[in-house]
Amino acid sequence: MENYEQINERVPFEQSLATVDSGEKMVAELTSEKVMYCSMQAETMEEKAKLFKAMNNPEKRIADCINTVIEVQDVYVEVVDCTNQDGEITQCPRVVLIDKNGIGYQAVSIGVFSALKKVIRVFGEPHWEKPLPLMVKQITRGAKQMLTFDVKF
């Protein structure tokens, strides 16, 4: 994890997770060693422990929360290596949504990553003082299913 930004400093979203307009750009974005984003500012030891728990061992999976609203205040995103059935390794975004109670919800998902970028374009960069109510949805695209969000005010 060398070369990552300090966790307690906000990394501008535009610098760390630029817009994905093409497959080629997405590959370049996801293979960057410096792609990491964290909106949560942790100053006290308790806040740092809460952040570490959300980053390292989130309590819930986003896929288990379909049709459920998550009151999101903060976001953590990093690139992880994924191995497919043929043994090929690709890099994918791992997204952790952190709710108003500090509970982390994780997914390794292009759909969640894409929806999150759109949410941030519309609602601004997290930390949201008033939690953003995101309803987890599963949609079908051809033979594939993917996770996304609806905003429920």
Segment 125-149, tens digit of pLDDT: 999 999 999 999 999 988 989 999 9
pTM across the whole model? 0.76
pLDDT-derived band of residue 6, with 50, 70 and 90 as boundaries?
A: very low
20-40: pLDDT as tens digits: 445 566 566 555 555 788 999
When comparing pLDDT for 59 and 13, which is higher? 59
pLDDT score at 26: 56
- Residue 111 or residue 3, greater confidence: 111
The mean pLDDT of the chain is: 83
Q: What dihedral angle (degrees, nearest 10) is formed by the CA atoms of 21, 23, 28, 33?
A: 100
